[in-house]
Amino acid sequence: QSALTQPASVSGSPGQSITISCTGTSSDVGGYNYVSWYQQHPRKAPKLIIYEVSDRPSGISNRFSGSKSGNTASLTISGLQAEDEADYYCCSYTSSISWVFGGGTKLTVL
Amino acid sequence: EVQLVESGGGLVQPGGSLRLSCAASGFTFSTSWLNWVRQAPGKGLEWVANIKPDGSDEYYVDSVRGRFTISRDNAKNSLYLQMNSLRAEDTAVYYCARGDRWSFSYWGQGTLVTVS
């Protein structure tokens, strides 16, 4: 199972919006609405921010939103804040009864 | 409050074995899917294995199948990962994570395994 494809890095200024893409195949992202997104700050455990493509867990800011079209999922962060600077990972359930993550995207808030 | 606390990591020689544990609290352990996810130093996340709530089924990533065994003790609210025939490429921080709504809803702080 190959890792999902994410851009290595993205950046934006405070207040702006950014979008991180996550591309898979019809056997994972395209085949199931089971895409989730995780935020990881340095030396910390990952934190769930989006599940089932577009749902937010309790306590997660509505500045975070998710979507999917075909084999590509996207995470959008609006109103960028300094605390959003972190690594972001997408993840999808697969037809192999397994889970596959993206390679991760480093978000820099300028 | 959900808590997952991993232990058992350390330095092991190639070909050796190690058993990781994860102590859980703050949720109904016996009805939850549980997972191990690892992260090699400076690298991304990789799902390793998961286990059904009643322990009746287990699933593994291809690279560890046949070498690693996931298990659980619902009476002790504990998750385990028995790792045999360890390789240098198994070096990583290992996280236990609760499976919920087709995602990994809570994570422990991780335990470092170094194979060298």
φ, ψ of residue A84 in degrees (nearest 5): -80, -10
CA dist., res. A67 & res. B56, Å (int): 34
Q: What digits encode the pLDDT tens for the residues B85-114?
A: 999 999 999 999 999 999 999 999 999 999
Using CA coordinates, name the residue in chain B closest to A104: B44
Q: What digits encode the pLDDT tens for the residues B49-93?
A: 999 999 999 999 999 999 999 999 999 999 999 999 999 999 999
The CB-side HSE value for A38 (13 A sphere, CA atoms) comes to: 26
Neighbours of A67 (CB within 10 A): 14
Q: What digits encode the pLDDT tens for the residues A12-36?
A: 999 999 999 999 999 999 999 999 9
Task: With beta carbons under 8 A apart, name residues in chain A contacting B95.
Answer: 45-46
Percent of chain A scoring above 90 in pLDDT: 96
At residue A38, does pLDDT exceed 90?
yes
Contact B47 A3 (CB under 8 A): no
CA dist., res. B30 & res. B75, Å (int): 8
**Nearest CB to B44: which of A36, A93, A104?**
A104
DSSP A4: B
Contact A1 B61 (CB under 8 A): yes
| Closest listed residue to residue B46, CA positions, set A53, A19, A38 | A38
Q: What angle do CA B88, B94, B97 make, to 5 degrees?
A: 150
Q: Please say whether the dihedral angle defined by the alpha carbons of residues B64, B80, A52 and B56, taken in this order, is positive or negative.
A: positive
- Judged by a CB distance cut-off of 8 A, whether residue A83 touches chain B is no
Sorted by sequence, the CB contacts under 8 Å of residue A49 that are 6+ apart come out as: A37, A38, A39, A56, A57, A60, A64, A75
- Let me know: does A60 contact A76? Beta carbons within 8 Å: no
Distance from CA of A64 to the nearest CA of B (A): 16
CA dist., res. A100 & res. A37, Å (int): 12
